[in-house]
């Protein structure tokens, strides 16, 4: 995304995904030099975002690290198919409010104003977007996993629908205006 690379600093993004971690670190130190992921779609997306990076579609569990150029900074998040609780398996049904939204709400209220757009580039099932809508913000999000995206869309549509429904107090106010 146009970040200049310091010649002495090189960066590897393990389990690179779409490049959110790379994008976050790039302004501080260096654009990624090497990115690895087992999923071709993630590599394709990362490559779109970081054209100058070397990309490898490989399972890092089974590949020899000596095969790749060495770098002096490593970004590594949990690998989704072997080290997460989900083990890469879609576990339906989803619970909309798994851990509660208090922290999300606090961040949105403190970092934005009503009417602002709250972006969520790793939206999962849409919790951030739902809270943003509930707090009078707009939202935009991206999610690579289609089933999570579909769930997020459903939750966001439900939230918008609920917001359009008049409450008893809205009806009483309308009744008073008509009378």
CATH label of the domain that carries residue 26:
3.40.50.150
Kindly state whether residue 177 falls inside one of the protein's structural domains. Answer: no
Kindly state whether residue 129 falls inside one of the protein's structural domains. Answer: yes
* Measured CA angle at 9 (ends 4, 14), to 5 deg: 95
pTM assigned to the model? 0.43
pLDDT at residue number 25: 78
Are 146 and 106 found together in one domain? yes
Kindly state whether residue 178 falls inside one of the protein's structural domains. Answer: no
pLDDT at residue number 87: 57
pLDDT tens across 129-154, in order? 999 999 999 999 999 889 889 999 99
Q: Where in the sequence is the domain holding 19, given as residue range(s)?
A: 11-76
pLDDT at residue number 92: 53
Kindly state whether residue 120 falls inside one of the protein's structural domains. Answer: yes
The structural domain count of the chain equals 2
Kindly state whether residue 43 falls inside one of the protein's structural domains. Answer: yes
pLDDT at residue number 77: 67
Give whole-number Cα distances, 63 to 89, 142, 148, in Å. Answer: 22, 30, 29
The stretches in the chain having pLDDT less than 70 are: 1-7, 77-99
Kindly state whether residue 54 falls inside one of the protein's structural domains. Answer: yes
pLDDT at residue number 79: 58
Kindly state whether residue 89 falls inside one of the protein's structural domains. Answer: no
């Amino acid at each position: 995304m146009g970040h200049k690379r310091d010649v002495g600093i090189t960066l590897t993004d393990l389990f690179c995904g779409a490049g959110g971690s790379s994008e976050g670190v790039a302004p501080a130190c260096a654009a990624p030099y090497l990115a690895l992921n087992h999923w071709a779609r993630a590599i394709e997306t990362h490559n779109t975002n970081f054209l100058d990076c070397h990309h490898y579609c490989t399972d890092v569990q089974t590949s020899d690290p000596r095969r790749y150029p060495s770098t002096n900074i490593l970004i590594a998040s949990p690998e989704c198919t072997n080290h997460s609780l989900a083990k890469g398996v879609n576990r339906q049904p989803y619970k909309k409010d798994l851990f509660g939204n208090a922290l999300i709400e606090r961040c949105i209220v403190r970092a934005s104003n009503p009417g602002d757009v709250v972006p969520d580039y790793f939206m999962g099932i849409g919790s951030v977007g739902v809270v943003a809508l509930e707090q009078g913000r707009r939202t935009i999000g991206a999610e690579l996993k289609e089933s999570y995206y579909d769930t997020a869309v459903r939750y966001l549509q439900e939230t918008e629908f609920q917001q359009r429904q008049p409450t008893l107090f809205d009806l009483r106010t309308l009744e008073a205006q008509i009378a």
